[in-house]
Amino acid sequence: MNQANIHRLVATQLKQKDADALFDLRLAANLPLIQKLFSSLYPDEHHINHFQKLMDLLSRLYASRPSELKKQDLERLDSGNWYQSEKIMGMQLYVEHFNKDLNGLKEKLPYFKDLGVNFLHLMPITTRPKGESDGGYAVNSYLQVDKKYGTKEDLLALTSEFRKEGMYLMLDFVVNHTSNEFSWAKKAMKGDKKYQGYYYTFEDYTIPSEFEKTLPEVFPETSPGSFTYVPEMDRWVMTVFNSYQWDLNYTNPEVFLEMLTNLVKLTDLGVDVVRFDALAFLWKKMGTISQNLPEAHNLVSLFRMCLQVVAPGVILLAEAIVAPTDIIKYFGEDQKMGNECEVAYNASLMALLWNSIATKRTSLLYKSLDHVPPKPVDCTWINYIRCHDDIGLGYENQLIQELGWNPNMHRKFLLDYYCQHLDWSPSKGLMFMYNPKTGDGRITGSAASLLGLEKALELKDDALITESINKIIMMHGIILAFGGIPLIYAGDEIGTLNDYSFRNDNSKKDDSRWVNRPMQDWEIISKLDNGNLPQSKIYHMLQKLINIRKTNPVFADNNSLSLCHTGNDHILVFEKRGNGREGLLVVCNFDENAQVIETGWIKRLGYFAKGDPIDLVSGNKLVMKSGLLEIAPYQLLWLKRD
Ligand code: OTU
């Protein structure tokens, strides 16, 4: 049993006692690990002082945590993992693109309720530079609400309302970098040596040029290289992302202590899940790609264990858009070095689903998912078909090759398919950060535009419109049934198309990810009663599927999931097994033609024990002809075994 679980057990038994005694207990239980992690990162003798500072800090941070949240922490320790429940349904949104500001968002609580959403990821809302700010991922502060969203009081009112309504809130912690306007960066620019040491700054380009030999470029089009010369301080600073995003130097323990304070204060605002942005990049080492280094894992674990002491009801999400075998390590691979994040983005599934849409085949999906090692039982995925970022083509070359495809040509095909280089493709995406040096590129676009709705509406082709709606439903139907937390991007529930207005905005025009961050269309939403609109069909179908998920415990995360091989390369089938006889078979057809599978094996799984099984999606009994099941183009079936 790991540290956190031991603590959970003891805390449960002591729940009658004073909460403060439980803090001491948590500290005692986690101290050996915290010490081990701290000294692995900061081995020098003189860091003893810093460790003492950390101990004092933990007590102070606990003392100032609001009592309501302390109470909630204890309740959560006692009540199982809420984030693994079938009742959780997430949505991601930019507050200013949804309904103006935080108060505007609060007014729309009935909308979320109607759809069944009870988990929100709000994109960054703290202060940021005017002009380009990477959508707020260049932070001027970690805690101060930018006035375009409202005030700190508005945020506190919102989180308090969320608690009453059973709505969970996720906010970002941009842990890898600050903006160049952050107070530390400003002091560094004025020549303050202490704050220059908060970042990776160098007096000339010698060391940066060594680093750049192995550092991959994240934004090669707009921010080539990984260092920026800052004339104000006549020094170079490491900027792995945009030139105005300065990488924090975690080899300096002061940085860790300050960032831990920021993290806990953020959770004190009533945040349930903290999204650790770009956490794969947290530790840099010359001669490496400076991603996923063991020290980055130890650092995440150190944050986690400290949070476990101060705010144990809060969980972490790993935003690691890296290779599948690397993502899973952010759950905390080495239990001796503690837990890391409870939740991670299932970026592999996301990218594979888009591969299946373009190729109309599921072989790479099966092969890749079979390769992903099992996750720890207390951890889970955020399952999503797309987010505010681009869709990267992060497949394993080896597996592409095993299918007889050339990895480079395959990726080129996918970029062509999604980014309007093939006349016959229904997709209307844009290219993001094409790197001519490597041929790499990523894809942007709203779900509906990538899945053909934009083109179908332009062509006024009813058959294509229906086909696109079916694709949108099928893709969401998969993430809804995959366990974990399904996360819809706001607007996708009504098939919102690409938003090209970013091209007229100087601070956005070079970043095509803005095309997939459209405004919420309240006008359309006011017309959802008109069942003939494509938007209405999508909304009502998703609403129905969400409701089915929330009322059937078989959808819960801790039920096992296994892939079923059908022999038909256009079909995806997986099964969820619940308690007792409960089972759910998810069947999807990625082809534009109807496909047939044989059903003997479905019978053997016990789905016909009480007669023909019901498809929860249509509400109909399964229709078969001579032992064969026909699945319509882009059809989604949720077969229930009772
Ligand atoms: C994250 O993504 C955010 O999601 C982005 O919106 C930010 O721009 C970025 O960090 C910087 O704060 O490069 O294209 O895992 O894929 O961390 C998206 C590696 C990004 C990156 C990911 C990053």
The DSSP annotation for 86-113 comes to TT--EEEE-HHHHHSSHHHHHHTHHHHH
Structure tokens at 99: 């309904």
**173: which strand partners?**
276
Helices (H), 462-533: 462-481, 522-525
Other Cβ atoms less than 10 A from the Cβ of 297: the count is 23
Instruction: Return the CA Rg of the chain.
Output: 25
Answer yes or no: 18 catalytic.
no
* Residues whose CB is less than 8 angstroms from the CB of residue 152 and which lie 6 or more positions away in sequence, other chains included: 143, 144, 145, 269
pLDDT confidence of residue 160: 97
* Pairing verdict, β 315-318 and 343-345: parallel
In short, whether 174's Cβ falls inside 6 Å of ligand 1 is yes
Structure tokens at 172: 């970002």
Structure tokens at 21: 């005694």
Residue nearest to atom 16 of ligand 1 (CA): 321
Cβ pair 327, 344 in contact under 8 A? yes
| Domains, the chain, ordered by start | 83-171+347-550 (3.20.20.80), 183-247 (3.90.400.10), 554-641 (2.60.40.1180)
In short, whether 94's Cβ falls inside 6 Å of ligand 1 is no
CA of 218 to the centre of ligand 1 (A): 8
Quickly tell me which residue has 């998920």 as its tokens: 549
In short, whether 351's Cβ falls inside 6 Å of ligand 1 is no
CA of 94 to the centre of ligand 1 (A): 15
CA of 396 to the centre of ligand 1 (A): 20
Three-state SS string over 545-602 comes to HHHHHHHCHHHCCCCEEEEECCCCCCEEEEEEECCCCCEEEEEEECCCCCEEEECHHH
**344: which strand partners?**
318, 381
pLDDT confidence of residue 130: 96
For 148-175, the pLDDT digits (tens) are 999 999 999 999 999 999 999 999 999 9
Three-state SS string over 206-229 comes to HHHHHHHCCCCCCCCCCCCCCEEE
Cβ pair 557, 609 in contact under 8 A? no
Q: Name the amino acid, one letter, at 366.
A: Y
How far from the centroid of its chain's Cα atoms is residue 265's Cα? 22
In short, whether 327's Cβ falls inside 6 Å of ligand 1 is no
CA of 586 to the centre of ligand 1 (A): 31
**Is the pTM value of this prediction over 0.90?**
yes
Residue nearest to atom 23 of ligand 1 (CA): 278
Its sign, for the CA torsion 26, 31, 36, 38, is: positive
pLDDT confidence of residue 274: 98
Closest residue by Cα to residue 113 from 497, 521, 621, 550? 550
Answer yes or no: 389 catalytic.
no
pLDDT confidence of residue 56: 98
pLDDT confidence of residue 624: 82
Q: How far apart are CA 477 and CA 398, in angstroms?
A: 29
Structure tokens at 155: 């945020």
Which residue positions in the chain have pLDDT lower than 50?
Answer: 1, 16
pLDDT confidence of residue 44: 86
In ligand 1, the atom with minimum distance to the C-alpha of 176 is 12
pLDDT confidence of residue 16: 47
pLDDT confidence of residue 338: 83
ipTM: 0.93
Helices (H), 311-392: 324-327, 347-359, 363-371
Active-site residue among 146, 154, 277, 557? 277
In short, whether 241's Cβ falls inside 6 Å of ligand 1 is yes
In short, whether 524's Cβ falls inside 6 Å of ligand 1 is no
In short, whether 330's Cβ falls inside 6 Å of ligand 1 is no
Residue nearest to atom 13 of ligand 1 (CA): 218
For 239-278, the pLDDT digits (tens) are 999 999 999 999 999 999 999 999 999 999 999 999 999 9
